[in-house]
Amino acid sequence: MKNKKTKSTKSKVHTTKDSAVVKISSKGRIKELISTKKNSSAKQPSQTVSAPATNLMISVSGIRGIVGDGLTPEVVTKYASAFGTWANGGKIVIGRDSRVSGEMVRMAVVAGLLATGCRVIDIGIVSTPTTEIAVKNLKAYGGIAITASHNPVNWNALKLIGPKGLFLDQAQGNEVIELALKENIQYQHWDRLGKIEYYDHAIQNHIDQILELEYLNVSQIRDRRFKVVIDCVNGAGGIFIPKLLREMGCEVLILNEEPHGIFPRNPEPVAENLNQLANAVIEYKADIGLAVDPDVDRLAIVDENGQPIGEEYTLALAVDFILSRKPGAVVINASTSMAIDDIAQKYGCTVFRTKIGEINVSTKMHEKNAVIGGEGNGGVILPEIHYGRDAATGIALVLQYLSASGKKISELKQTLPQYTMIKTKIDLAKVNVDQILQKIINKNDAKKVDRTDGVKLIYDHAWIHFRKSNTEPILRTIVEARTQQEAEKLLSSFTLFFK
């Protein structure tokens, strides 16, 4: 669907005590909302266990597949049952995003969990971080977030969460996968089947935790009465983020609010997909534009001039703000911007890098007692809320930074170290990745070769990173340098390897 300027749409204005809310209509199929919530299973990738099903991706980011072509009800139920067995029939929280396939997958997940004797707590259509938080708050043995995050509408996935509200680690994920593949599932008899119940307060609990952060001066934010445009991409954010913004006293203009799961654009919140948001910011003279992905763990920002600042700078803003209040260790992944290193150096703090994947960052944050961490795709992790990427927490920190500084978002961005990053994708079916990466290693002139995750070649003030995606059948290539010209030159120097 082509992006349209918001002045060609109809708007409805509702006024509340603290803010005005403008709902910017968008075209698309609106499905009836379903209040029940769904569960999903299987998260971890496995180096020792492989899945035979075609069109399934089993990785640190979950078990993902195209619905009806790899991800079927049988597959979903099998992995949900394996997770229920792994959880020994304990209490399991389930939540899902708004995808069209969500209710089908939810039912298959519930069936698998009930069959293994689990007590299922269904929290409805919520963000993935809300599900993680609910696992901990409700003292559950685990949880399943049913979402394919930024993947296209025909995908869905099961993300498995452990007792601490964290995604399963490598070893835990392998245990669940092995139970599924070996069909070593402990189904219960009729008199020991599980039961399902529903919990309606998970979103408000999440909001309350954010507003109670020691870093936030909510009254100060309310006094600024920020005009905010939020693009919810018809995902789970539509029933969460506008409410959070209203409670912080913002005037809220909402794009793509209804959580019906028919995404109006590519759901990944990167600059090229934010034209509608940029136009709305300009038209309505907003202070800031915000975009989230369907499960609300990634945040992208558009400045008051309608310019996307780049998802890497979401984390950079959050890190700069937190370190100014509470210096300490920072943990990021191998593909995150050098800007974080520069910011940490300014405050005399140490940066630790990990493999890509939220659980890898979370685990290292625990180990290093980090004060903040995350991934450069717009994923902010603040331990005081939970050890998971959370767009809502990122929004609160950025608005606090704005209100405290008195600056505009474009001005704040300019106070940070300036780098240019280029991200490209290569279809894995078209190349022999392992062979090419070995050639690159053999023939490079980099200052350092980092094999933490894939191959990363590090130069003075620049780097290029090649790695297989955890979420799509592609090779990701990311390059960063001080200028666009330098980044393009470095990227082009490796183009011949892939021809």
pLDDT in tens, the chain (499 residues): 434 333 333 333 333 334 456 666 543 322 332 222 233 333 333 343 444 445 788 876 678 999 999 999 999 999 999 999 999 999 999 999 999 999 999 999 999 999 999 999 999 999 999 999 999 999 999 999 999 999 999 999 999 999 999 999 989 999 999 999 999 999 999 999 999 999 999 999 999 999 999 999 999 999 999 999 999 999 999 999 999 999 999 999 999 999 999 999 999 999 999 999 999 999 999 999 999 999 999 999 999 999 999 999 999 999 999 999 999 999 999 999 999 999 999 999 999 999 998 999 999 999 999 999 999 999 999 999 999 999 999 999 999 999 999 999 999 999 999 999 999 988 877 778 888 888 888 888 899 999 999 999 999 999 999 998 877 788 899 999 999 999 999 999 988 888 7
What local confidence, expressed as pLDDT, does residue 434 receive? 85
The CATH architecture of the domain made up of 56-200 is 3-Layer(aba) Sandwich (3.40)
Do 6-29+206-414 and 420-498 share a fold?
Answer: no
Which amino acid, 207?
Answer: I
* pLDDT score, position 53: 45
Give the model's pLDDT for residue 1.
40
pLDDT value for 60: 63
| Strand ranges inside 37-174, DSSP E | 56-59, 62-67, 70-71, 91-96, 119-125, 142-146, 155-161
Tokens of 342: 């520069």
What is the 8-class DSSP label of residue 141?
S
Question: Could you please report the per-residue DSSP string of 273-333?
Answer: G-HHHHHHHHHTT-SEEEEE-TTS--EEEE-TTS-B--THHHHHHHHHHHHHHS---EEEE
Say what the pTM is.
Answer: 0.88
Q: Say what the pLDDT of residue 273 is.
A: 97
Residues forming beta bridges with residue 11, ordered by sequence position: 24
CA distance 362 to 374: 8
For tokens 């680690």, the residue is: 169
Beta-sheet pairing, 251-255 with 288-292:
unpaired
Cα–chain center distance at 96: 13
- Which numeric CATH code is attached to 6-29+206-414? 3.40.120.10
d(CA 107, CA 110): 5
Please tell me the predicted confidence (pLDDT) of residue 20: 52
Sheet containing strand 351-354, strands side by side:
351-354, 330-333, 372-375, 379-381
pLDDT of residue 453: 92
| β-strand pairing of 91-96 with 142-146 | parallel
257 φ, ψ (degrees, to nearest 5): -80, -45
Q: Which two tokens stand for residue 314?
A: 């979401």
Q: How many CB atoms lie within 10 A of CB 485?
A: 10
User: For the chain, how big is the Rg over CA atoms in Å?
Assistant: 22
Distances (CA, A) of 447 to 10, 307, 496: 55, 34, 21
Task: Count the Cβ atoms, other than its own, within 10 Å of residue 436.
Answer: 17
What is the residue extent of each domain of the chain? 6-29+206-414, 56-200, 420-498
- Sorted by sequence, the CB contacts under 8 Å of residue 492 that are 6+ apart come out as none
State the catalytic residues.
Answer: 149
pLDDT of residue 24: 63
Q: What is the CATH number of domain 420-498?
A: 3.30.310.50
How many other C-beta atoms are found inside a 10 Å radius of the C-beta of residue 426?
Answer: 16
